[in-house]
Amino acid sequence: MNKASNTKIETAVVLLSYNSLPLVKNFLPKIVQTVPDRSDIEIYVVDNASIDETSAYVKDNFPMVKLIRFEKNVGFTGGYLKSLAQINAKNYVLVSSDIEVTENWFQPAIDLLNSADDIACVQPKIMSFDRRNEFEYAGAAGGYIDAFGYPFCKGRLVNVLEEDKGQYDEVSEIFWASGACLFIKSEAWEIAGGFDKDFFAHMEEIDLCWRLKGMGYRIMYQPKSKIYHMGGFVIKYGSPEKIFRNHRNNLLMLIKNLPTFQLLWKTPIRLLLDHAAALSMLKEKNPEGAMQVFKAHLDILQNLGMWLEKRKQVQATKKNVNEVGIFHRSMIIAFFLKGKKKFSDLGWKP
């Protein structure tokens, strides 16, 4: 990788922005205020080919913040792949533009990240920006995955969000950490190859964490670090694009990461469940959503050779596989058929 400097700093906080100047104006000042003012910590704004005045605003108002600008939008995944290749740091803190940090968000998470060599990533507690006492969809109190690859969180099953009553206030090992605010060691990022650029956006962090778990790393949750997430700013919840990337990228994770025997018998079940989801959308008079499910399947088939090659590469990296955080049952059946609406209802301790 071609790093801009030969001197490795301790930590780089990297905010990726695409046409989100109002968010940068609202949230960047708090990041600057709360990140320790030290020579070995740097803050970056990555302007992913915005057509607003993000770059000019950062230059004029925050000369201490380093700016990286791309002439072409390369997506959430590509934006971080290209920018981190230019940043020489021991740790990265990836921050979405729609994140509001709190006073003590930084240090507890970075301390936990540095506390053991086998910890690759740390996620803070992620709360809803609009409903301040409620967990937020994209990460909540740490991410898990069920037997058929469906992601869920402490504090969020499917679309049901819990109120934070201190029930998830212990440091814990999780399966995946949210890309909305991701603390990650650069060594782990580089060994795993970072985000898969072909995901473009959505679930790329789960795929990355799954690959890291396959190498024996731990992913951790630090409740003492807390941030607020607006959610759905780039890809709106429930939008056709969101449905497409939900189904496409989730299946791609299975193709890349599942052991061969599990992939062979779980894939048909996942396809049936996807078809059931599409039928449900049709009943709800959402034909566009149902079409996106089948569009996702077609996209995978058209590029299946590429994905199988990626699977081969991922499987070759597996050693000391860490399965902590895999729920070896169906969260979907528990939620829809058994009425389990909270994480605690699952009767499972990771």
State the average pLDDT over residues 318-327.
Answer: 97
Residue 140 has pLDDT above 60, yes or no: yes
Q: For strands 151-153 and 143-146, give the pairing.
A: antiparallel
147: helix, strand or coil = coil
Q: What is the mean pLDDT of residues 101-108?
A: 98
Nearest partner of 253 among 195, 187, 293, judged by Cα = 195
**What local confidence, expressed as pLDDT, does residue 5 receive?**
59
pLDDT value, residue 200: 86
When pLDDT is averaged across residues 198-212 and rounded to a whole number, the result is: 94
Confidence of residue 141 (pLDDT cuts 50, 70, 90): very high
For the CA atoms of 122, 129, 84, 239, the dihedral, rounded to the nearest 10 degrees, stands at: 110
Summary mean pLDDT of the chain: 95
What is the average per-residue pLDDT within 138-151? 97
pLDDT, position 7: 83
Q: What percentage of the chain has pLDDT greater than the value 70?
A: 96
Can you spell out the DSSP letters for 240-306? HHHHHHHHHHHHHHHHHHS-HHHHHHHHHHHHHHHHHHHHHHHHTT-HHHHHHHHHHHHHHHHTHHH
User: For the CA atoms of the chain, what is the radius of gyration?
Assistant: 19
Residue 170: its pLDDT value, please?
98
Q: Indicate the range of 1-15, 51-65, 121-135, 240-254 predicted with least confidence.
A: 1-15
Question: What confidence category does residue 303 fall into, taking pLDDT thresholds of 50, 70 and 90?
Answer: very high
Residue 1's pLDDT is: 42
**pLDDT at residue 116, as a whole number:** 98
- Please identify which residue in the block is written with the tokens 């962090």: 205
pLDDT tens figures, 178-203? 999 999 999 999 999 999 999 988 89
* 220-279 confidence digits (pLDDT tens): 999 999 999 997 655 666 688 889 999 999 999 999 999 999 999 999 999 999 999 999
Whether residue 91 contacts residue 184, with contact meaning beta carbons closer than 8 Å, is answered with yes
CA geometry: angle at 166 spanning 107 and 130, to 5°? 80
Rounded to two decimals, the pTM is 0.95
Average confidence (pLDDT) over 93-107: 97
